[in-house]
């Protein structure tokens, strides 16, 4: 089995000015890695003919797969397409199917196809057009001397869709890449270093063709076990066995596998058990509701929520007692309990959950410093409240609170 | 004045596997830009002698400043250092001041200096050592044929400290760099292609030392105007004049400048006018509340919100009439109006806003396809409702709805 190498070229002055972090390179490299293609280099260049041309030359000398993103939007600084044409000694030709795609996109929105849009329908002669179902710039697949060049729009969600649906499957077929299997084991509420200590023995005993990676996010660590092999079924069986061993060590911290997120896991458990949920948010300010509702089908178990940012709203909309607020303050166990219990009753939900805390960076006191958070869970039989002591970072605190509360719900639903 | 160009080389297998996002490149480029040094290319290569050597060759051919940040940890730094020595035809010599620095770091922590640490005290003969006050790996400054090579540790906080305190001041002195000014003009609710067509004449007439870039996000396009010149004040005056011209064309789509976001702009207008806001969300499911509350100080104008995902909640928590829901459906103008008016009254806010729509990907009908959304604004004097016709993508629809509604609020507050 021959190794296949790739170069990822991202184009954009905004990257070189340091105005945006280029996340496309990382995402593309990670996806290529999953199908057994190794990224040999990542290069970012500006919106300039010469820079793009040189990058293409260097890439062709190094790699078999060259993926280029950016510089395909409908504006003046988009010279990628012209430079590609020059590089291939080719020309740009009008492709009516691209224009049809743009028209199809614009029609329901009542938008008119402009001359600039029409220019986007010009593609390199001889390329395979990768139709973009959610944007106006198409992707292009070109081959020369056994090397594959793929040009994609720089807008991340468009690039990802084209990669996942068209480019990655085509690369697998084209290069007959080895079998690569990834298992994602998703843990929650355990620090990376603790996790690493717990599974050290198991990890050290892994054979060379199985590799473990730690992918941390706020409040979660995803473990990725990657196996490479010629025999797919043997590899699968071997990995199942290893994952079983792993689960015997850290099972209680594992909430899910693969693409599952903690909120969809909670959603699936609620659906299974015929239950519904409502949320009363203070410090998370709508973020938990958004976690649920970003996924299609959330309406089957998520009834809604109340964002109670002021005490007034906590009293009027959630029926939190004014005395309790005065006596204990908004960030307190009794207030968290009342919020969870009352949102459950008011929304007629099976479960009510709540958050109240000091997200920061201001608003801390010596007794209740920034990062002090109370969360609560109520299901009619019992109410559980928990105090969290988090960080100085506002957005991080919002995310950590969300993870802690969703995991509390998961544990209750699993118990 | 001669422009000075840089290349940033980041080294690490973990970058090429896509396991981490390389944020060092972005940070370094942004800092270089502030002192008038333009990054011509960013390159990431693996922990391999050959890859590093080739990257150095390519960088020396392109740029006057080459900044290299190493892999993490003493073993990986080693490859970079030996490759640099080979590249310069130089050798590694023991520097007692580096070892003293390591000993000084370890002493209070009771840590012993290992053989690996001792190796870190070897630096390139003839380099200027950049002492690392918070880590064990020193930086190095090397010059050859008028070009400057700077090698730094990969640990972000060590790299940043060395850059800020030693490298950037030294580069300013060394190259006597020009002035660079960036203006960000932030537009909303106008497609990139329409914007581009509107300002085409103005853009084409820009002098060569002023450059425009389009930075699109869902529902917004940020414009960046960059100027380079020897006389800072003349450049500033020229750019002010150009921006004034630009605003005379697209002023009504511009909500802010610089780092301002649409939700903080709305927040600032509310604060100025002593007003408060509350939000009733169906299809955006908490996302608008989260947009406000992710920023510190939101409690001064944002009272809270209701996420009303089910009809039951729309009736019970928002007082939407059951008859209206039955007659027009949840996704309708009358329901959007009642939601905005009622959340305003219930939260005792100056302004109430609402969203109701079919975010997708399921739930569409021939009359109300996926992407059909109603938004509304109510301030006691008037209620405005607007229909949006959006896309098939759930998360994109949530973001587009949020932008459209926040812009509606902005327009009302500005009128």
- Domains plus CATH for chain A? 4-175 (3.40.980.10), 179-257 (3.30.70.2860), 262-414 (3.90.950.20)
Nearest partner of B355 among B370, B323, B325, B377, judged by Cα: B377
Average pLDDT over residues A200-206: 94
Average pLDDT over residues A29-57: 94
Whether residue B182 and residue A17 make contact (CB cut-off 8 A), yes or no, is yes
Whether residue B213 and residue A22 make contact (CB cut-off 8 A), yes or no, is no
Q: How would residue A51 be classed by pLDDT, with cut points 50, 70 and 90?
A: very high
**Between residues 77 and 116 of chain B, which touch chain A (CB distance below 8 Å)?**
none
Q: Please name the residue of chain A whose CA is at the shortest distance from the CA of residue B349.
A: A313
pLDDT tens digit sequence for A245-262 = 999 999 999 999 988 999
In the numeric block, the tokens 């040999």 are attached to A40
Q: What is the pLDDT of residue A259?
A: 84
Decide if pLDDT at B72 tops 70.
no
Q: Mutate which of A70, A80, A135, A290 to test chain B, going by most B C-beta atoms within 10 A?
A: A290
Whether residue B40 and residue A46 make contact (CB cut-off 8 A), yes or no, is yes
Distance of CA B367 to the CA centre of its chain: 39
Q: What is the pLDDT of residue B71?
A: 61
Q: Which residues of A touch B359 (CB under 8 A)?
A: 296
Alpha helices of A329-380 — where are they, by DSSP H? 333-346
First to last CA, chain A: 47
**Between residues 136 and 165 of chain A, which touch chain B (CB distance below 8 Å)?**
136, 155, 157
Any CB–CB contact under 8 A between A370 and chain B?
no
- Give the side-chain half-sphere CA count within 13 A for B371: 15
Average pLDDT over residues A62-91: 85
Q: What is the pLDDT of residue B409?
A: 98
Token pair in block for residue B315:
């009736």
Q: What is the pLDDT of residue B110?
A: 79
DSSP 8-state class, residue B375: E
Decide if pLDDT at B288 tops 50.
yes
The winner for highest mean pLDDT among A9-23, A75-89, A330-344 is A330-344
Whether residue A317 and residue B288 make contact (CB cut-off 8 A), yes or no, is no
Q: How far apart are CA B334 and CA B71, in angstroms?
A: 60
Least reliable range by pLDDT among A156-170, A244-258, B43-57, B100-114: B100-114
In the numeric block, the tokens 């690369």 are attached to A171
8 Å CB contact between B299 and A310? yes
Give the C-alpha distances (Å, rounded to integers) separating B411 from A93, B199, B355: 43, 22, 17
Q: How far apart are CA A308 and CA B289, in angstroms?
A: 10
pLDDT tens digit sequence for B240-251 = 999 999 999 999
Nearest partner of A110 among B357, B355, B391, B356, judged by Cα: B391
Tell me the shortest Cα–Cα distance from A353 to chain B, in angstroms: 14
Q: Please name the residue of chain B whose CA is at the shortest distance from the CA of residue A39.
A: B16
Q: How would residue A70 be classed by pLDDT, with cut points 50, 70 and 90?
A: confident
The DSSP H or E segment spanning A227 is: strand A220-229
Nearest partner of A354 among A321, A334, A371, A377, judged by Cα: A377
Q: How far apart are CA B375 and CA B368, in angstroms?
A: 15
Q: How would residue B166 be classed by pLDDT, with cut points 50, 70 and 90?
A: very high
Give the C-alpha distances (Å, rounded to integers) separating B236 from A45, A370, B136, B203, B241: 27, 41, 43, 18, 9
Q: Which residues of B touch A302 (CB under 8 A)?
A: 285, 309
Higher pLDDT, B173 or B67: B67
Nearest partner of A331 among A363, A304, A361, A306, judged by Cα: A363
Whether residue A74 and residue B192 make contact (CB cut-off 8 A), yes or no, is yes
Q: What is the pLDDT of residue A73?
A: 63
Average pLDDT over residues A72-93: 82
Peptide bond before B361: cis, by omega within 30 degrees of 0?
Answer: yes
Nearest partner of B310 among A298, A63, A49, judged by Cα: A298
Decide if pLDDT at A392 tops 60.
yes
Q: Which residues of A touch B215 (CB under 8 A)?
A: 14, 19-20
CA angle B257, B258, B259 (to 5 degrees): 115
pLDDT tens digit sequence for A150-169 = 999 998 989 999 999 999 99
Q: How would residue B228 be classed by pLDDT, with cut points 50, 70 and 90?
A: confident
pTM of the model: 0.80
pLDDT tens digit sequence for A316-373 = 999 999 999 999 999 999 999 999 999 999 999 999 999 999 998 888 999 999 999 9
DSSP 8-state class, residue A165: I
CB nearest to A77's CB, from B23, B213, B292: B213
pLDDT tens digit sequence for B344-366 = 999 999 999 999 999 988 889 99
8 Å CB contact between B203 and B212? yes
Q: How would residue A76 be classed by pLDDT, with cut points 50, 70 and 90?
A: very low
Q: Which residues of B touch A46 (CB under 8 A)?
A: 40
CB nearest to B293's CB, from A20, A41, A286: A286
The DSSP H or E segment spanning A357 is: strand A351-357
Decide if pLDDT at B77 tops 70.
no
CB nearest to B17's CB, from A16, A29, A77: A29
Decide if pLDDT at A75 tops 80.
no
8 Å CB contact between A33 and B18? yes
Decide if pLDDT at A93 tops 90.
yes
Tell me the shortest Cα–Cα distance from B413 to chain A, in angstroms: 22
Q: How far apart are CA A52 and CA A172, in angstroms?
A: 26
What's the ipTM?
0.79
The winner for highest mean pLDDT among A63-72, B8-17, B279-288 is B279-288
Q: What is the pLDDT of residue B31?
A: 93
Round the average pLDDT of chain B to a whole number and report it: 93
Beta-carbon contacts of residue B276 (< 8 Å; ≥ 6 apart): B270, B301, B302, B303, B347, B349, B350, B351
Q: How would residue A108 be classed by pLDDT, with cut points 50, 70 and 90?
A: confident
Collapsed DSSP state (helix, strand, coil) of residue A366: coil
Any CB–CB contact under 8 A between B296 and chain A?
yes
């Amino acid at each position: 089995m021959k190794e296949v190498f790739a170069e990822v070229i991202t184009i954009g002055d905004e990257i070189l000015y340091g105005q945006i972090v280029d996340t496309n390179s990382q995402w593309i490299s990670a996806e290529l890695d999953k199908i057994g293609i190794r990224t040999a280099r990542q290069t970012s260049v500006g919106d300039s003919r010469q820079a793009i041309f040189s990058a293409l030359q260097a890439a062709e000398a190094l790699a078999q797969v060259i993926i280029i993103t950016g510089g395909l939007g409908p504006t003046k600084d988009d010279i990628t397409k012209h430079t590609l044409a020059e590089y291939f000694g080719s020309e740009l030709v009008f492709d009516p199917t691209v224009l049809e795609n743009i028209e199809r996109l614009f029609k329901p929105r009542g938008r008119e196809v402009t001359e600039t849009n029409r220019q986007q329908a010009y593609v390199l002669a001889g390329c395979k057009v990768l139709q973009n179902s959610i944007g106006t710039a198409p992707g292009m697949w070109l081959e020369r001397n056994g090397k594959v060049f793929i040009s994609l729009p720089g807008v991340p969600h468009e690039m990802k869709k084209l990669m996942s649906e068209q480019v990655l499957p085509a690369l697998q077929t084209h290069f007959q890449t080895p079998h690569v299997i990834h298992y994602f084991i998703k843990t929650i509420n355990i620090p990376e270093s603790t996790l690493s200590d717990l599974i050290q023995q198991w990890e050290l005993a892994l054979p060379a063709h199985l590799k473990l990676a730690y992918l941390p996010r706020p409040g979660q660590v995803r473990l990725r076990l990657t196996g490479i092999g010629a025999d797919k079924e043997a590899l699968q069986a071997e990995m199942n066995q290893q994952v079983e061993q792993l689960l015997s060590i850290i099972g209680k911290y594992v909430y899910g596998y693969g693409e599952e997120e903690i909120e969809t896991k909670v959603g699936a458990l609620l659906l299974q058990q015929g239950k519904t949920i409502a949320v009363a948010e203070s410090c998370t300010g709508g973020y938990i509701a958004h976690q649920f509702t970003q996924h299609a089908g959330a309406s089957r178990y998520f009834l809604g929520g109340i964002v109670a940012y002021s005490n007034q709203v906590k009293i009027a909309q959630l029926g939190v007692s004014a005395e309790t607020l005065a006596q204990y303050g908004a960030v307190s166990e009794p207030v968290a309990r009342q919020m969870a219990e009352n949102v459950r009753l008011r929304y007629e939900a099976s479960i009510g959950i709540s958050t109240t805390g000091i997200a920061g960076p201001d608003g801390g006191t010596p007794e209740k410093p920034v990062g002090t958070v109370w969360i609560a869970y109520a299901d009619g039989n019992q109410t559980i409240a928990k105090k969290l002591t988090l960080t100085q970072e506002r957005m991080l605190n919002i995310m950590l609170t969300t993870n802690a509360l969703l995991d509390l719900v998961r544990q209750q639903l699993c118990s």
